Each structure stands twice: as C-alpha cells, then as structure tokens.
Amino acid sequence: MIIPNPIKPGDTIGIVCPAGFMPAEKARRCIQTLKKWGYHVLEGKTLGGSSKNYFSGTDEERLQDLQLMLDNPDVKAIICGRGGYGTTRILDQINWNAFEKNPKWIVGFSDLTILHGFMHEQLQIASIHGPMAGAFNQDEGINRYTLSLKHVLEGSLTCYTSAPHIFDTPGIANAQLIGGNLCLMAHALGSNAAYQTAGKILFLEDVGEQLYNIDRMMLQLKRAGVFNNLKGLIIGGFTDNRDTDRPFGKNAYEIIGEHVNEYNYPKCFGFPVSHEKENLALAIGAIYKLKIDKLGTELSN
C-alpha cells in the first residue's frame, strides 16, 4: 500500500465537489482555516457550481474538475466539499496515470466511500476518510475532529479513544484499516470498488437510513462474506435513523449487533466516525492497532 507524502505549510490543497452541490459560502470557514494552518487553497469550479439540479455540475464538469486536481503537481492534497451522491457516475472515467506517479491525499466520506474502495483495491494508494469542507463550520474548524484531519494530512501518528459499549467484544488486532458508509459498501459489492476485507479492520457508519434497510444491507454484506475473516470491526455513528409506521423493533446497533454477534474478533460500537461532528480522520489502507477492553476502545497507528 502506497501512503501519500505528508503535506506541510506552504503546500496547496484543492477543494472539489465530485458529487452533490455545495454553495461556495459553506466552504469559506474551511478555506480560512486551511490558510490559518499555513496552506494555499485552490478552489475547483464545482465548488458553488452553476448546476441547477442535485449535482455540483454535469458529469463532465465534475470529472474535469477532479481530473485537474489529480493531475496538478502543485496540489498536494484534495478535500471534497461534500458527499451526497454522484461520485460513482464519474469514477470509471477518471484517468489515474499522473496521480499514480505522484500520489496525494484525497479526503472525503459518505459518497466518497466508493472512491476510497476503488483506490484501495485498484491503485493500492491510501486515502483519508475524514471531515470535508462543511465540517469546518462547526466550532470554527478547531475541534478534535477537524484537527484530526490536519494531523493525518501532516503525517502525525494518531491515537483515538471511545467509551465502552455493551455490544463490544474485547480483543486486540493489528491490520490495515478499511471501510466507510454502509450504503456505499453495499452499493460497491460486485464492482471494482468493493473492498477485499479478509485480514482487515473494517469500520462502518451511516445516516438517515430506514431501520429495515440497515438490516437488509447488513444481510447483504454478510451473505457476500464481508464479515467472515476480519481482524476487527468498528461500528461508528448510525444517526437520524427512520422507522416505519409499524416499528421494526430494534435500533441500529441492535440490528448490527445481531448480525455480527457470531464473530469472535474484536468489535466496538459507538466509535466517533459518522456523518455528525464526531468524525475522526482515518487513513484507509494504513496499519492500525485496535484495542478493545472494559475501559473502551483505542485505535492507534
């Protein structure tokens, strides 16, 4: 696995929107913070793009904007403005030739899970599941979670902790970390962006899903063998869940716990990776140590 070089003050960070539309003003706090950290910022045309529909531009415009950032040797890292939906529509048209010769960090989560999976499996280049531009609007971009992105981008070692949970399974694992959004993980199955999970530590999170659909997606991953030979499992935030008029009968963690209870590797629930403020930056493809005991969870590299 190729780990992109750390960035340093004076380097340029690009901001693009390969998926849903994001008003340019919602990225202002991010841009200001990155500049305070000592970086130059290059704004892509899709940030505040002129599209009148859901996306931040046409497929061609979003592809071209991301391609320019990938190919530009002066851009040392790329942060996506937001997720939503749309990255899959352009994924297979991206030309990775220049990027493979000069890898750089790409940051995002949610819809960007499909990009992370492709990069991990097809390019063997690490990427960052972490706060995007909108996250900097909370606490002026100086909270634990946005600062975690700075640390990973700059190559600092990280050590994250979370409280114990009743569904935790104690144990220790050392392995590559992979994962992302549950919906996108299910969407990727059978494609060139599906993670090969054996021997890895897997993390999952999601937002706004019907409870029965969480059950369905967990079953799909389970039937595909995704959970069979993991070294460890991290369950992050499952927030803003919806229920049917006739209740499903279990909450998100109860649903997930039921499906993974049979596996004996270390498992933790409630880890701070999510669609909310609590979203620590994780280097996908890097080696992490996962330690779970009665005091809680520690994830470090």
Residues 36-84 have pLDDT tens digits of 999 999 999 999 987 789 999 999 999 999 999 999 999 999 999 999 9
Q: Looking at residue 138, what is its pLDDT?
A: 82
> Is the CB of residue 276 less than 8 Å from the CB of residue 146?
no
Last residue of a domain, one of 102, 132, 153: 153
Q: Note whether 175 and 149 are same-domain residues.
A: no
Average pLDDT of the segment spanning 222-235:
98
Is residue 240 over pLDDT 80? yes
What's the pLDDT at 267? 98
Q: Does residue 46 form part of some domain?
A: yes
Same domain, yes or no: 60 and 16: yes
* Domain assignment present for 2: no
CA distance 37 to 35: 5
Give the rounded percent of residues in the chain with a pLDDT score beyond 90: 97
Residue ranges making up the domain that contains 74: 12-153
- The verdict on 173 and 132 lying in the same domain is no
pLDDT tens profile 181-204: 999 999 999 999 999 999 999 999
pTM of the shown model: 0.97
Q: Are residues 131 and 189 in the same domain?
A: no
129 and 228 together in one domain: no
For the chain, the distance separating the N- and C-terminal CA atoms, rounded to the nearest angstrom, is 15
**Average pLDDT, whole number, for the chain?**
97
Check whether residue 270 and residue 225 sit in a common domain. Answer: yes
From 49-53, 226-230, 284-288, the region with the lowest mean pLDDT = 49-53
Cα–Cα distance measured from residue 80 to residue 195, given in angstroms and rounded to the nearest whole number: 21
Q: Answer left, alpha or beta for residue 84, where phi above 0 means left and psi between -120 and 50 means alpha.
A: left
Residue 102 DSSP class: S
Does some domain include residue 177?
Answer: yes
Q: What is the CATH number for 171?
A: 3.50.30.60
Number of domains in the chain: 2
Of the three residues 99, 128, 153, the one that is the final residue of a domain is 153
Neighbours of 258 (CB within 10 A): 13
Same domain, 164 and 296: yes
Q: Measured between alpha carbons, how far is 20 from 281 in angstroms, rounded to an integer?
A: 21
Same domain? 163 vs 277: yes
- Is the pLDDT at 164 greater than 80? The verdict is yes
Helix/strand/coil for 41: strand
Q: In what order do the strands lie in the sheet with 201-207?
A: 159-162, 296-300, 287-293, 171-181, 201-207, 232-239, 267-269
Q: Are residues 148 and 70 in the same domain?
A: yes
pLDDT tens profile 110-152: 999 999 999 999 999 999 999 999 999 987 777 999 999 999 9
Q: Which of 118, 153, 188 is the last residue of a domain?
A: 153
Q: Rounded to 10 degrees, what is the CA torsion of 242, 183, 106, 39?
A: 0
